[in-house]
Structure 1
Amino acid sequence: MTTLAIVLFLVLALLGMPLAFSLGLAALGGLAWSGIELSVLPQRMMHAVNSFPLMAIPLFMLAGELMVGGQVMQRTIDFANAFVGRVKGGLAHVTLLSGLGLASVTGAAVAGASALGTTMMPAMKKHYDAGFGSAVVASASNLGPIIPPSAAMIVYALMAGSSVSVGGLFMAGVVPGVLLVVGMMVLSSWIAHRKGYPPTGEPFSLKNLLVQTRRAGAIMLMPVIVIGGIVGGVFTATEGAAIAVVYAFVIGKWVTRKLEWTDLPGCMFRAALTSAVVGALIAFATPLTFLFTIDLIPMRLSQFIQMLTDNPDVFLALVMVMLLVVGMFLESNAAYIMLVPLFAPIALAYGIDPLYFGFLFVFNLVIGMMTPPVGVLLFVMCGIAKIPMSQLLRYVWPFIALQYLVLILCWIFPEIVTALPHALGY
């Protein structure tokens, strides 16, 4: 029955059906074939989304929308511009640092691409090739699921069960996230020099830097309070997300004074729309994972892999290669929901650190958001920049290669991922 469900899902997905619809119909077909009471379907779906930790995703999404609605991005951009604006590739550096700041609020790549793209692309097109600007914005947006708080890590922890904590996964992404930002800035500088792009922004001024630091101080304090509170055990990830919403509203309403009461319905609608996609995928995928459990698929898969090799490194290599391929064709949230319940228990059986495995799993699929043919960030940026995919692909490959390089470094040197969370007691 599991085989039937998987085949049905793949056929529907290849035909272009929505992923949630494909998952739901595949689960329905599998349950009907097995003779199991179909009332299991809505019960499992309701149980999956009736989750307190899962509430963190729409709350972080809403916090990000409120920050964008309050035009907080402009202060973040001005602050970054005061640091690195007056160099070759300076506008790309500003975009990357702004993406880092936005990632520490939203935790989502697509939301970051929408906010950064609409804000930065007009200036990018004036000074750079639109393909290069779009590649930089897509790369900066892809920091969202790596830098805490990460919606992808919340989904992973939910699907993996008690073996891994959300706070631990959040901290696992800090050092690799910094490496990514530094690497992307170096790469952007190299491309800017090679292409002869002119410097942008005002000359460096200590006075201006102090002014912009003062203006952006309250904004930069937000991730410190939210992430620090989650890591310190003061509140849970969901409670931290609720605090982020309140903080973002206060900043937009009374600090930048750009957020109006009339903006709130639109912010809530956009956050609900984005979150509903994740919720629908989780809901419709749960009956399918229930079929996996009934058919003992995780146990059989574990036994089969252990028959092939008893080396954890070989197992990890097989999973990484598989995720590289999966990330090119399958939406990342669907991949977490389908694959985490299968491979997380096997990684534990091999004695692999669950934080280390979980981060590599998430990071690999996050890079898939930028790889064709189904790289969602590529389609978002082509729509915002109004350029053909071929123009974007000419510039995006170096950034994709850099992200895979950082992934390989994390794979070879686990301490890059695990040192910080272990030092904090995870």
Structure 2
Amino acid sequence: MSALMTWVFVAFALLGMPLSFAIGMGAMGGLAASDIDFNMLPSRMINSLDSFPLLSIPLFMVAGELMIKAGLMEQMIDFANAFIGRVRGGLAQVAMLAGAVLSAVSGSAVSDASALASTMHPSLKKNYDERFSTAVISASANLGPIIPPSGAMIVYAFMAGPSVSVGGLFMAGTVPGILLTAIFMFQCWYIAKKRNYPLTGEPVTVRNIVRQTRRSFITLLMPIVCIGGIVGGIFTATEGAGIGVVFALFIGFFVTRQLKVKDLPEVFVRSALMTAVVGAMIAFASTVTFLMTVDMLPQHLTAWMRGVTTDPLMFNLLVAVVLLLVGTAMESNAAYIMLVPLLHPLALQYGIDPLLFGFLFVYNLVIGMLTPPVGVVLFVVSGVTKVKMGDITWAVLPFIVSQYALLLLCMLFPPIVTWLPRAMGY
């Protein structure tokens, strides 16, 4: 009964309250409907946050914000443009490639959306219509949580427990992230050709490629060192994130020289606010998870799902439908915190590879960041570019369809996700 009351309270609270407060109200509602002592709430909330791996989330956020302030986007755009050349939809393809490289630094779709919209939109709208320009920015920003490092994957690994490693999930997202970038770039070329958009960019030359690679070498070295160290077991995700912060400070102060001491308070405040939201949701959700465990909700859900299907593929498809609905109505961090403790153990009972299910779960909710009414990436891009949400939504639809096509492909051919992490010993 307590778990049922918890979900009811959460549903009502979500109608008009901030998400972290809504989850807290749901937890207290469940406690009130049960005979569990309220005194357990503070200690359980504190214990849920007493985790060294969780420190990687604010550190990666700080590193991403520092790199953006350090003028990383201009370097990434020039680097991408050196490889694309003068082709149909060239500038749009540059935006996609720049978004992919930026994803290897920040790991956050929201930060990437803000950076890409600020730097790329003025150039894009000069060559394309505003709808297509904002759709390109939104799709490229959505690569952030897929290509490592990924804040979403860190949260998933924490909620899933020891059966999933952060490094393994990072590697699971690498090949699909590269494939998705290539698919997005092909779509940009196809749409530009179909609509007869003008040629953009400069011809590809070996000299320009070498020059831009040298210019961006230290910047590109950051994700190689951080992610490579995590995957290679040299240091933990939290230590890798700390190294990323040091790298970002070095690049900003001594390489690009665009980062100023006066920029640091804004970077730290923005990162602290985003971290506080995630932390509050984890703390409150820990009590909800406890109540669901006490009421044996996972066991009841397992029995119900077993009655529906015993096929792992059908289970993945059913979860995908559920997450499609959840992603359109709930912020993704809340969905990880509320649903991973329920669905991850269930996936293991179906014999599904934990890294495969973890990636599919994250990827499902990443797509949800592009779908209204709670498409957070759309809100950020709309706020920066001043283009209406409805216009962006219709324009970004082809990119959403291609993301779901890749999701289905990963379900049908799991080695796309699991080959690289297994080859690296995960």
Instruction: State the TM bucket, normalised to the shorter chain.
Output: over 0.9
Cross-structure match for 2:291: 291
In structure 2, distance between residues paired with 1:195 and 1:42: 58
Equivalent residues in 2 for 1:154-303 (5 A)? 154-303=154-303
**Correspondence for 2:10:** 9
Q: What SS class does the counterpart of residue 310 from structure 1 fall into? A: coil
Any residues of structure 2 matched to 1:108-123 within 5 Å, and which? Answer: 108-123=108-123
Match of 2:37 in 1: 37
Summarize the alignment of residues 97-136 of structure 1 with structure 2, pairs less than 5 Å apart: 97-136=97-136
User: Where does residue 72 of structure 2 map in the other structure?
Assistant: 72
Amino acid at match of 2:294: I
Q: Tell me the residue number matched to 1:420.
A: 420
Shift of 1:85: 4.2
Q: CA deviation at 1:394?
A: 2.5
Percent identity between the two aligned chains: 57
SS in 2 for 1:378: helix
TM-score, with length taken from structure 1: 0.98
State how far apart, in whole Å, the 1-side matches of 2:422 and 2:353 are.
Answer: 11
- Name 1:325's counterpart in structure 2: 325
Write the letter of the residue equivalent to 1:224: I
Deviation at 1:266, TM superposition (A): 1.1
Q: Which residue of 1 aligns with 2:395?
A: 395
SS for the counterpart of 2:383 is helix
Q: Paired residue for 2:340?
A: 340
User: What letter corresponds to residue 9 of structure 2 in structure 1?
Assistant: L
Query: Could you tell me how far apart the structure 2 residues matched to 1:252 and 1:40 are?
Result: 45
Report the 3-state secondary structure (helix = DSSP H, G, I; strand = E; otherwise coil) of the residue aligned with 2:162: helix
Amino acid at match of 2:308: L
> Greater CA deviation, 304-313 or 265-274?
304-313
| Aligned amino acid, residue 249 of structure 1 | L
* CA distance in structure 2 between the aligned counterparts of 1:72 and 1:385, rounded to whole angstroms: 20
CA contact under 8 A between 2:371 and 2:393: conserved in structure 1? no
Aligned-partner Cα distance in 2 for 1:35–1:90 = 63
SS of 1:34's equivalent in the other structure is: coil
Shift of 1:314: 2.1
- Residues matched between the structures, number: 425
How far apart, in 1, do the equivalents of 2:200 and 2:41 lie? 56
Deviates more, 1:190-199 or 1:243-252: 190-199
User: Alignment partner of 1:162: what SS?
Assistant: coil
Distance in 2 (alpha carbons) for counterparts of 1:311 and 1:395: 36
Aligned to 2:380: 380
| Alpha carbons 2:147, 2:174 under 8 Å: kept | yes
Q: Displacement of 1:310 after TM fit?
A: 2.3
Q: CA deviation at 1:350?
A: 1.3
CA distance in 2, matches of 1:414, 1:285: 31
Q: 2:8 is aligned with what amino acid?
A: V
Question: In the alignment, what sits opposite 1:409?
Answer: 409
Contact 1:63 1:106 in 2 (8 A): yes
- Deviation readout 1:116-135 (Å, 9 max, x if unpaired): 11111111111111111111
Could you tell me whether the CA contact under 8 Å between 1:85 and 1:91 is conserved in 2?
A: no
Counterparts of 2:263 and 2:379 in 1: how far apart (Å)? 27
Query: How far, CA to CA, are the matches of 2:130 and 2:411 in structure 1?
Result: 33
Q: Which amino acid aligns with 2:366?
A: V
1:250 is displaced (CA, Å) by 0.3
Contact 1:85 1:93 in 2 (8 A): no
SS at match of 1:222: helix
Secondary structure of the 2:200 match is coil
TM-score, normalised by the number of residues in structure 2: 0.98
Please report how far the alpha carbon of residue 53 of structure 1 lies from its aligned counterpart in structure 2 after TM superposition.
Answer: 0.5
**Quick check: 114-123 or 300-309, which moved more?**
300-309
Shift of 1:286: 1.1
Q: Residue type matched to 2:77 in 1?
A: I
- Deviation at 1:223? 0.8
The farther-off stretch of 155-164 and 38-47 is 38-47
The Cα shift of 1:252 comes to 0.8
2:311 paired residue number:
311
Structure 1 stretch 125-134 or stretch 173-182: which is displaced more? 125-134
Deviates more, 1:47-56 or 1:313-322: 313-322
Q: CA deviation at 1:313?
A: 2.1
- Deviation at 1:206? 2.4
**Equivalent-residue separation in structure 2 for 1:90 and 1:39 (angstroms):** 60
CA RMSD of aligned residues (A): 1.1
What is the CA deviation profile of residues 239-287 of structure 1, one whole-angstrom value per residue up to 9, with x for unaligned ones?
0000000001101110111111111111111111122221111111111
1:149 is displaced (CA, Å) by 0.7
Residue identity opposite 1:23 in structure 2: I
> Do the aligned partners of 2:69 and 2:252 also contact (CA within 8 Å) in 1?
yes
Cα distance between partner residues in 2 of 1:158 and 1:411: 23
Tell me, in whole angstroms, the C-alpha distance in 2 between the residues paired with 1:129 and 1:291.
51
Q: Distance in 1 between matches of 2:85 and 2:266?
A: 32
Question: Equivalent residue for 1:52?
Answer: 52
* Cα displacement string for residues 3-52 of structure 1 (whole angstroms, at most 9, x for unaligned residues): 11101111111x23111011000101111221211122111111111211
CA contact (8 A) 1:61 1:271 kept: yes
Amino acid of the residue matched to residue 196 of structure 1? N
Unaligned runs of 5+ in 1: none
SS in structure 2 at match of 1:387? coil
Contact kept, 8 Å, 2:313 with 2:411, in 1: the verdict is no
What does residue range 75-94 of structure 1 map to in structure 2 within 5 Å?
Answer: 75-94=75-94
Query: What is the CA deviation profile of residues 126-185 of structure 1, one whole-angstrom value per residue up to 9, with x for unaligned ones?
Result: 111111111111111111110011111111111111111111000000000001000000
Matched AA of 1:65:
E
